[in-house]
């Protein structure tokens, strides 16, 4: 088994796969390393999730994605990306985590949870879904608190707090309510987020208006206990009986991994990684970024549909330099 490559791609999500396809077409040796399963982030999406984008917008490598409806669901996306990886015999290792990247003699030494590799170029396409943005409040470490929502049945006939007002929070609130949960939303702002899917937004707003789902706006969760929570509202602290907390407050890239690779981050709250927008190369020569990891804390900037082009840009730059 070779351990020396032209390119090592860190991350086996849609953009990592797209980078592998481009490297393959250019005749470059490459390896994709993914710490979880194939398209691990998509696998961890809610079971009933429908994409905001249409299927052709999240195609990669020019390979058609045919879905039953205009907007594909999670299961269709998992099948599509698996078929792309298998049919093109992509060189990828799953369940293998990259631990470190070090420059050595004009190349890079990559240490994973299984072995060591060397490569002339690195593409980091790790996304942002692995690390939740924590509330940092008492009780957040209780077993009743989750930062990922999967399926509504588990919460049937339970008292559920949903923290957040984004697409994921709205889906969790509506789906658990329809399974018989008593749902209370805790929303930091004035209401449901403006980026919530247009066919879902009226539904959640009507459920709140009619009182089926209770919503505290301009409010924050202050403390979590075994059978209740404290909510700081504009009128003071309210204590609400509770069985489970679904804290969907967003996610962030693994900034420590980027720093260890030598990539500079902006000094403001956005923590934007440095890269050349024409080539996607970072301040570390030979290390590139692809996909949503480029946005730092601005995780709403890059998506599959507008970052899949990164794969072409990066491989084009690598090939031009080799020539």
Q: Tell me, yes or no, whether 97 and 11 share the same domain.
A: yes
What does the pLDDT read at residue 322? 84
> Which domain-ending residue is among 214, 247, 280?
247
So what's the pLDDT on residue 1?
Answer: 64
Longest Cα–Cα distance of the chain, Å, equals 67
Q: What is the pTM of this model?
A: 0.92
140 and 204 belong to one structural domain: yes
Q: Are residues 10 and 104 in the same domain?
A: yes
Residue 118 DSSP one-character state: E
Single residue among 187, 219, 247 that ends a domain in this structure = 247
At residue 109, what are phi and psi to the nearest 5 degrees?
-100, 125
The residue length of the chain stands at 323
User: Domain ends where: 200, 228, 247?
Assistant: 247
Note whether 264 and 192 are same-domain residues.
Answer: no
Q: Where are the alpha helices (DSSP H) in the chain?
A: 14-25, 40-43, 74-87, 167-178, 201-210, 255-260, 304-307, 309-322
For residues 284-307, give the mean pLDDT: 94
Task: Examine the domain organization and report whether 239 and 259 are in the same domain.
Answer: no
Q: Does residue 27 sit in the same domain as residue 94?
A: yes
Q: What is the mean pLDDT of residues 103-129?
A: 95
Q: Does pLDDT of 230 surpass 80?
A: yes
Identify the pLDDT of residue 323: 75
Nearest by Cα to 81 from 18, 19, 148: 18
Q: What is the pLDDT of residues 169-220, one digit of tens each?
A: 999 999 999 999 999 999 999 999 998 999 999 999 999 999 999 999 999 9
Whether 2 shows a pLDDT value over 80: the answer reads no
Q: For residue 129, what pLDDT band results from cuts at 50, 70 and 90?
A: confident
Q: Are residues 279 and 305 in the same domain?
A: yes
Query: Looking at the structure, do residues 183 and 239 belong to the same domain, yes or no?
Result: yes
Same domain, yes or no, for 175 and 200? Answer: yes
Are 175 and 243 members of one domain? yes
Looking at the structure, tell me whether residues 9 and 124 fall in a common domain: yes
Range of the domain at 143: 134-247
Which whole number is the average pLDDT over 48-58? 92
Structurally, the chain folds into a number of domains equal to 2
What integer pLDDT is reported at residue 105 of this predicted model? 87
Over range 108-137, report the average pLDDT.
95
Name the average pLDDT for the chain. 95
The answer on 203 and 114 residing in a single domain is: no
- Considering only residues 242 and 62, tell me which one the structure prediction assigns the higher pLDDT: 242
Q: Residue 274 gets which letter from DSSP? A: P
- The string of pLDDT tens digits covering residues 250-261 is 999 999 999 999
- Residue 180's domain is classified under what CATH number? 3.50.50.60
């Amino acid at each position: 088994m070779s351990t020396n490559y032209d390119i090592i791609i860190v991350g086996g999500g849609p953009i990592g796969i797209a980078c592998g396809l481009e490297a393959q077409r250019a005749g470059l040796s490459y390896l994709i390393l993914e710490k979880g399963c194939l398209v691990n982030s998509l696998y961890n999406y809610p079971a009933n999730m429908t994409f905001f984008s249409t299927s052709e917008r999240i195609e990669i490598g020019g390979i058609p994605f045919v879905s039953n409806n205009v907007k594909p669901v999670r299961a269709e996306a998992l099948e599509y990306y698996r078929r792309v990886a298998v049919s093109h015999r992509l060189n990828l290792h799953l369940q293998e985590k990259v631990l470190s990247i070090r420059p050595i003699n004009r190349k890079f030494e990559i240490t994973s949870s299984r072995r060591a590799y060397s490569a002339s170029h690195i593409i980091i396409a790790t996304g942002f879904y692995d690390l939740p943005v924590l509330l940092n409040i008492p009780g957040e470490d209780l077993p009743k608190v989750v930062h990922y929502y999967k399926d509504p049945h588990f919460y049937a006939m339970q008292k559920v707090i949903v923290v957040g007002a984004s697409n994921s929070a709205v889906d969790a609130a509506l789906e658990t309510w329809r399974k018989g949960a008593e749902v209370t939303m805790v929303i930091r702002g004035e209401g449901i987020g403006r980026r919530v899917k247009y066919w879902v937004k009226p539904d959640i707003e009507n459920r709140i208006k009619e009182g089926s789902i209770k919503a505290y706006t301009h409010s924050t969760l202050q403390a979590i206990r075994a059978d209740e929570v404290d909510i700081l509202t504009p009128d003071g602290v309210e204590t609400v009986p509770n069985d489970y907390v679904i804290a969907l407050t967003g996610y962030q890239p693994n900034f420590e991994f980027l720093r260890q690779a030598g990539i500079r981050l902006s000094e403001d709250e956005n923590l934007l990684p440095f890269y050349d927008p024409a080539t996607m190369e970072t301040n570390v020569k030979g290390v590139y970024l692809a996909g949503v990891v480029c946005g730092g804390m601005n995780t709403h900037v890059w998506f599959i549909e507008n970052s899949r082009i990164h794969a072409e840009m990066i491989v084009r730059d690598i090939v031009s330099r080799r020539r």
